Amino acid sequence: MRLPGLGPGRADRGRGTPADLVAVGLANPGSEYVGTRHNVGAEVVDVLAERHRARLKRAVGRALSAEVRMDQRLLVLAVPGVFMNLSGQTVAPLVRRYCPDDVTRLVIVHDELDLEPGRIKVKVGGGLAGHNGLKSVKAHLGSDAFVRVRLGVGKPPGRQAGADHVLRRPGKAERAELDVAVADAADAVELILAEGPDRAMNRYN
């Protein structure tokens, strides 16, 4: 099924080999956000790029992206080059180029307040849990049927606002938990590519 509004655009018509999976790690750009809870999605993509000896370069839709192969399957890795609440502006061109007929081949990797730090879950479609990056992706695609790999960062302590919590860097103990979760989430993306989201949900949820 071709998604509404995702016919070929002038900038990307006819370019690119169809991908088996497009994995996008949500984040805010800029050195001041590196290492914050909100940027764990991008950390997962960085791990995958390192594993497959790929270098993310600016390409489609103001995203940093790379194409890698796993057992003859094409995996596109990407990090949006815009702020979190504008993520859909970069995701939609990637979908137009690599998987316009099947949004379930898009995986969004993102931080999740409703999961404790270090826990991951895989989900297909459904609610957005107030995540501004996911809201933007849904708005630009006209669909929420994409796959999500959710990395827990926990709820903010006391009366701290959720936005303040995710924009801060975790302490040493939490950082160690997140490092393990980032590696696990990278494994989950590879499992989705190899065996599909249902297999990943059975393993990680």
How far apart are the C-alpha atoms of 192 and 45, rounded to whole Å?
14
Residue in the block written with tokens 């959710």: 150
**Strand ordering across the sheet containing 73-80:** 57-58, 63-70, 73-80, 21-25, 106-112, 147-152, 120-124
How far apart are the C-alpha atoms of 67 and 168, rounded to whole Å?
31
DSSP H or E segment with residue 68? strand 63-70
Beta partners for residue 152, in sequence order? 112
DSSP 196: -
Query: Residue 28: phi, psi to the nearest 5?
Result: -100, 140
Active site residues: 38
Q: For residue 1, count other CB atoms closer than 10 A to its CB.
A: 10
Do 128 and 169 contact (CB within 8 A), yes or no? no
